[in-house]
């Protein structure tokens, strides 16, 4: 059974800092991994999708890496802004069983202006 852990659980940083969010998962039989953002009381917004054959994926100030064999992914946010404040969730997609995602509890990020 896939288990996902995200560290840290919460993070508060001043505007402009570069930061790293960590995601670890127990079952490396994954097809891909998605990172999502969730604002309070809202749904999830997809940020990045990394295929299992990829090592990195970039979108703007976001860069996600994947080390499938060690069961780790990181989300790097460059030059953080107050608008980045949200909960960040990672979800590995299983090799079998469709796109049934398993989520961690997320990292709550606060960027102070």
Partner 1 sequence: DTGVSQDPRHKITKRGQNVTFRCDPISEHNRLYWYRQTLGQGPEFLTYFQNEAQLEKSRLLSDRFSAERPKGSFSTLEIQRTEQGDSAMYLCASSLHANTEAFFGQGTRLTVV
- Using the minimum distance from each CB to partner 1, give the nearer residue, 79 or 87: 87
Nearest to 89 by CA among 49, 40, 34: 34
Measured from the Cβ of residue 51, the count of other Cβ atoms closer than 10 Å reads: 14
- Using the minimum distance from each CB to partner 1, give the nearer residue, 18 or 58: 58
Site for partner 1 in 24-63 (CB under 8 A): 31-32, 34, 36, 41-46, 49
What CA–CA distance (Å, rounded) separates 3 from 105? 10
Residue at token pair 């997320």: 106
What CA–CA distance (Å, rounded) separates 58 from 74? 12
- Please pick, from the candidates 15, 105, 110, 112, the single residue that binds partner 1 as defined by CB under 8 A: 105
CB of 63 to partner 1, least distance (A): 17
What CA–CA distance (Å, rounded) separates 1 from 91? 14
Is 93 a binding residue for partner 1 by CB under 8 A? The answer is yes
- Using the minimum distance from each CB to partner 1, give the nearer residue, 19 or 44: 44
Interface residues with partner 1 (CB under 8 A) are 4, 31-32, 34, 36, 41-46, 49, 89, 91, 93, 97-106
């Amino acid at each position: 059974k896939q288990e996902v852990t995200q560290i840290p659980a919460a993070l508060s940083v001043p505007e402009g800092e570069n930061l790293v969010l960590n995601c670890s998962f127990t079952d490396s039989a994954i097809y891909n991994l998605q990172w999502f953002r969730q604002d309070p009381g809202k749904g999830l917004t997809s940020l990045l999708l990394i295929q299992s054959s990829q090592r990195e994926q970039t979108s703007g100030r976001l860069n996600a890496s994947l080390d499938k064999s060690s069961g780790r992914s990181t989300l790097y946010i460059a030059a953080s802004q107050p608008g980045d404040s949200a909960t960040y969730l990672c979800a590995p997609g299983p090799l079998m069983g469709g796109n049934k995602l398993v989520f961690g509890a997320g990292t709550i990020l606060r960027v102070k202006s």
